[in-house]
Structure 1
Amino acid sequence: MSTTDHYRGVWPVMLTPFDDRREIDWASLEKLIDWYIRAGVNGLFANCQSSEMFFLSEAESLQLTRFVLDYVDGRVPVVASGHTASSLSQQIDQLGRMAETGVDSVILISNRLAMPGEDDGTVLDNLRKITAALPETVGLGIYECPHPYKRLLADEVVDWCARSGRYTFIKDTCCRIGTIARRVELSRGSRLRIANANGQTLLPSLQAGAHGYSGIMTNFHPELYVWLCDNWQAEPEKAEIVAAYLSTASLAEYLDYPICAKDYQKSIGNFASVASRVREAGNYYSAHFQSNMRQMVQLGEIVKKQLALFG
C-alpha cells in the first residue's frame, strides 16, 4: 500500500492501559489493538496525548511504541509521537530515537516548535532544523496537540510541509472548515494528508477534501468513523444521520477523558482498570458521567441497527 493511500481513513489515538499501580498493562494493550483492527481502522497513532505521553518516561514511550509495532506485526501502519521535550537538541534526539523504532511516520507536536509568545517564523525555523536532522527513511507528521498549549499551524507552515516532500500527516485540531479547506488545497499534489480530530466538523471536512479522522472518539466507536469515511459519498442521507450522532457523541470528551474511555474499555472486557496518570477517576463516578457515557454508546448501537450500517 502506498503512503498516499494509507494515510487516509481512520487513525485511532491510542489509549495506554495501566494497572492499579499505574504501570503499563501490556495484556490489556493487546486486546485494545485487536479491537481497533477488527473495527477496520486504517492505521494507529501510538504514543500520543491520549496515550498520556506527557506522563510517560522516554524509556516507556519507546517501549510502548515498540510493543505496538511488534504486536500489530504489519496488519496496519503505525505512527507515533512522544515529542515532549522543550529544547531543540533534546527534541531532535527524542524524535530520532522514535524514528529508530520503525514507525511509519514520527509525529511532531506543534506546540513544541515554539513558546507561546514566539511567532510562526520561529516555528518554521525550528521545523526546518528538526526535519533536516531526522532520517529521510521515516515519514514525518504534525499534531496540533492542545497540551500544554494549543498552537495551530500557519498556512506557510502547512505549505512548507507539503512542498518538503517529507510530511505525510497533519492531525488537525483547528475545528474550522475554512481552515481545513485551505490546508487541503495547500497539500494538493503532495504526500501530505489532513486528518480531522474533531467529530463535529468531520463530515463537512470530508466534503471539503480532508482525508480522514484521528480523534479521541475512536476509543468508543471506531467502526462508525470507518463507515462514515468509507460511505459518505455513496450514502449521503445515512451519512448525515451518522455525522449528527457522532457530533453529539463527541461531547463525551468532556466526561473526564481519558477516564470515560478507559471505563468503556473496561466495560467491554479490554481493560482491567481505569487507572490513569493524568487524573483520578473519582469525579467521573461521583458526577454520574458513567451513566452519560453508557447512554451515548447505547444510542450509537441504536443508530447502527436502525440504519442497517453493517448488514
Structure 2
Amino acid sequence: MTQYSGIWPVAPTPFHPDGSLDLDGMRRVLDCLIDQGADGLCVLANFSEQFLLSDAERETLTRLSLEHVAGRVPVIVTISHYATTIAVERAQFAKDLGADMVMMMPPYHGATLKGSPDQTFEQFRAVGEVGIPIMVQDAPMSGVDLPVPLLVKMAQQIEMVKLFKIECALVANKMRALIEAGGDAIEGPFDGEEGITLLADLDAGARGAMTSGMIVDQIKPVITHHLAGRIDEAVEAYTRVLPAINHENRLCGWRSCKAAMVEGGVIGSEFSRHPIEPLHPAIRARLIDLLRRLDPMVLRWGKS
C-alpha cells in the first residue's frame, strides 16, 4: 500500500449518559480501532459528532487522541469551518500537536452561506500554507458543489492538497474523472459514506476508504484484496459486509458504531447529545443481529 491507502475509520466521540465527554472511553475507542487493523484514524469528523462539540472540547479531544495514539497509526484531524481564519488556526493547532493530516469540507454555514469556487480555493490555499497534508471532503452535508476541474486545480496548485474523500452522488463516476484529469496530483483518492459504494469506488481507482469505526476488520479485506488484484475475493468480502453497511448508512448513521461498541464493551454509553434521538430499539436490534453474523472484533473487544 502507498502512504495514502487502506482503511482510515472515523473515531466516534463517546459521551457519558449525562452528556459529558467520556475521555477514558475515547482512549478505548482509539485502541479498538487500531486493534481492528485501521491503517489510519480520523477524529472530529461528522461521524464524530463534531457539530455537537464545543471548541474547548475539540481541543481536548485533539490533544487526547494524538497523545494516546502516539504515532501507532497516522491521525487526521477534521478542521472544517466557514471562517478561513478559524480553519487555519485549527490546522495549525493540529499540526503543532503532531497530527499527520487535516480534513476539511469547503466553507459553508447552513443552507445559504456557501463558498464560491474562488472562495473555496482560497480557503484551502490558506490552510495549505500551514504545511500539513489536507484531505478534501466532498460531502453532501456542505451543499457546496466541488466540480472535478476545481479539485484538480487545488491538487495541482496547492502543494498540501493530497487526499480526496469523495462521497457525493455517483461517487465512482466522479472519482474516475478526478483521477483521469488529475493524474499523479491525486495522491489519495478515498471512498467515504461508510463504504456503501466501496467496490465501485475501488474499481474507479480509490486507494482507500474512510468508513465508520463499526466493522473495520470486516471491511479492510475488501480493500486489501482489491488493491492486490484479487477481485473475486474483494467481491466476496464486500458481499458479506454489505447488509450491515446498508443498514448503517440508511438507518443509523454514526449511532451504529456507538451501539456496536456498547454491545462489545468498548464504551459504556451510546448517548448522543440533543437534538439527536437514540436508535429505535427495532433498528438497533436488527443492526446487532446483522453484526453478530459477521463476528466482528468490535463485539468481542471489550469482553476478552
Q: TM-score range by the shorter chain?
A: 0.7 to 0.9
CA distance in 2, matches of 1:5, 1:70: 25
> Quick one: distance in 2 between partners of 1:157 and 1:279?
35
Report the TM-score when normalising by structure 2.
Answer: 0.86
Q: 1:280 to 1:190 in 2, by over 3 A?
A: closer
Deviations 1:177-225 (A, max 9, x none): 2111011223321263111014232112212211111122xx2210122
The CA deviation at 1:268 is 0.6
| d(CA) in 1 for partners of 2:274, 2:234 | 34
The AA in structure 2 aligned to 1:242 is A
Residues 283 and 108 of structure 1: CA distance in aligned 2, closer, same or farther (over 3 Å): closer
Identity %: 20
Instruction: Check conservation: 1:83, 1:107, Cα contact below 8 A.
Output: yes
Structure 1 residues without counterparts, runs of 5 or longer: 303-311
Which amino acid is the alignment partner of residue 171 of structure 1?
A: K
Q: Paired residue for 1:268, among 264, 272, 297?
A: 264
The question of 1:68 aligning with 2:59 is answered no
Quote the offset at 1:175 in angstroms: 4.3
User: Relative to structure 1, is the Cα distance of residues 30 and 87 closer, same or farther in structure 2, using a 3 angstrom cutoff?
Assistant: closer
Aligned match of 1:55: 52
Q: 1:155 to 1:115 in 2, by over 3 A?
A: farther
Alignment of 1:236-247 (within 5 A): 236-247=231-242
Structure 2 equivalent of residue 305 of structure 1: none
Which residue does 2:302 correspond to in 1?
A: none
Q: CA RMSD in A?
A: 2.5
2:155 to 151, 162, 167: 162
| d(CA) in 1 for partners of 2:128, 2:231 | 42
CA separation of 1:282 and 1:166: change in aligned 2, threshold 3 A: closer
Q: Distance in 1 between matches of 2:251 and 2:238?
A: 20
- After superposition, the Cα gap between the structure-2 partners of 1:298 and 1:153, relative to the gap in structure 1 and judged at 3 Å, is same
Specify whether residues 5 and 237 from structure 1 end up closer, same or farther in structure 2 by C-alpha distance, changes over 3 A only: closer
Separation of aligned partners in 1, 2:263 and 2:111 = 40
CA distance in 2, matches of 1:273, 1:127: 40
Give the corresponding residue for 1:139: 133
1:165 aligned partner, one-letter code? E
Shift of 1:91: 3.4
Q: Does 1:192 align with 2:214?
A: no
CA–CA separation in structure 1 for the residues paired with 2:270 and 2:34:
22
Counterpart CA distance in 2 for 1:223 and 1:111 is: 33
Aligned residues: 291
Q: 1:56 to 1:162 in 2, by over 3 A?
A: same
Change (3 A) 1:271 1:31: same
**Residue 203 of structure 2 aligns with which residue?**
207
Task: Output the CA distance in 2 between the equivalents of 1:110 and 1:135.
Answer: 16
Runs of 5+ consecutive residues of structure 2 not aligned to the other structure: 297-304
The answer to whether the 8 A contact 2:91-2:127 is kept is no
Alignment correspondent of 1:180: 175
Shift in CA distance, 229/50, structure 1 to aligned 2, threshold 3 Å: same
Counterparts of 1:236 and 1:71, CA distance in 2: 36
| Counterpart contact for 1:111–1:144, Cα < 8 Å | no
Identify if the C-alpha distance between structure 1 residues 165 and 191 changes in structure 2 by more than 3 Å, giving closer, same or farther.
Answer: farther
Aligned to 1:151: 144
Aligned pairs for 1:1-311 within 5 A: 5-84=2-81, 86-112=82-108, 116=112, 122-132=116-126, 134-147=128-141, 149-163=142-156, 164-176=158-170, 177-190=172-185, 192-198=187-193, 199-216=195-212, 219-232=213-226, 233-251=228-246, 252-277=248-273, 279-285=275-281, 288-301=282-295
Could you tell me which residue of structure 1 aligns to residue 300 of structure 2? Answer: none
Deviation at 1:279, TM superposition (A): 4.6
TM-score computed with the length of structure 1 as normaliser: 0.84
Paired letter, 2:184: G
Q: What's the CA shift for 1:282?
A: 4.4
Q: Which has the larger displacement, 43-52 or 195-204? A: 195-204
| Separation of aligned partners in 2, 1:261 and 1:114 | 26
Cα distance in 2 between the residues matched to 1:259 and 1:129: 31
